[in-house]
């Protein structure tokens, strides 16, 4: 078995474990996010393909999102970005983490070890989630 097919069967396994049928398109989108190593906008993912409709990519991302394979990152730059979840993520409140936007390269990173701090809300407000973004300079830009 070649190295490539080992990697592909790994993606198959990950998608299937989350209840997602591993179509070729979904596998490609997943592997692009995996290789990207930071949160990616739809536009940036689209750029990795030669000729694929943006809506096709979007649909794959939606399926991933519904099955807790990816989460969205709102980093204040205007474009929603997508990042892979950890294996076994349920995208519950406890699974949410802080994101880091680099002011130099513009990349957004998942700081998975930093849970989103829960604010003390005034009486009558129920917490359902927060988009917590820290900005600064990433290790690659130092």
CB of 59 to Zn ion, least distance (A): 19
CB of 58 to Zn ion, least distance (A): 18
Residues numbered 97 to 116 that lie near Zn ion (CB under 5 A) are 102, 104-105, 110
Considering the rule CB under 5 A, would residue 28 count as an interface residue with Zn ion? no
What Å distances lie between residue 91 and 63, 66, 70, 83, CA to CA? 14, 9, 9, 12
Considering the rule CB under 5 A, would residue 26 count as an interface residue with Zn ion? no
Q: How many residues bind Zn ion (CB under 5 A)?
A: 12
Residues counted in the chain = 142
Three-class DSSP category at 112: strand
Q: What angle do CA 57, 79, 86 make, to 5 degrees?
A: 65
Scanning 4-12, 47-55, 60-68, 128-136 for contacts with Zn ion by CB under 5 A, the matching segment is 60-68
Give Rg (Cα) of the chain: 16
Which positions lie near Zn ion, rule CB under 5 A? 68, 71, 83, 85, 89, 91, 102, 104-105, 110, 138, 141
């Amino acid at each position: 078995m070649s190295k490539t097919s080992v990697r592909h069967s790994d993606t198959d396994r990950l998608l299937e474990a989350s209840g997602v049928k591993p179509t070729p398109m979904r596998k490609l989108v997943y592997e692009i996010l995996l290789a990207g190593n930071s949160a990616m906008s739809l536009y940036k993912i689209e750029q990795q393909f030669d000729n694929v409709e943006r809506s096709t990519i979007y649909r794959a991302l939606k399926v991933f999102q519904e099955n807790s394979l990816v989460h969205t990152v709102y980093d204040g730059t205007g474009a929603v970005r997508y990042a892979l979840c950890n294996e076994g993520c349920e995208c519950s409140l406890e699974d949410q983490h802080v994101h880091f936007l680099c002011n130099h390269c513009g990349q957004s990173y998942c700081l998975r070890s930093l849970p989103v701090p829960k604010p003390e809300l005034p009486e009558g407000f129920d917490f359902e989630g927060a988009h917590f973004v820290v900005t600064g300079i990433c290790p690659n830009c130092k």
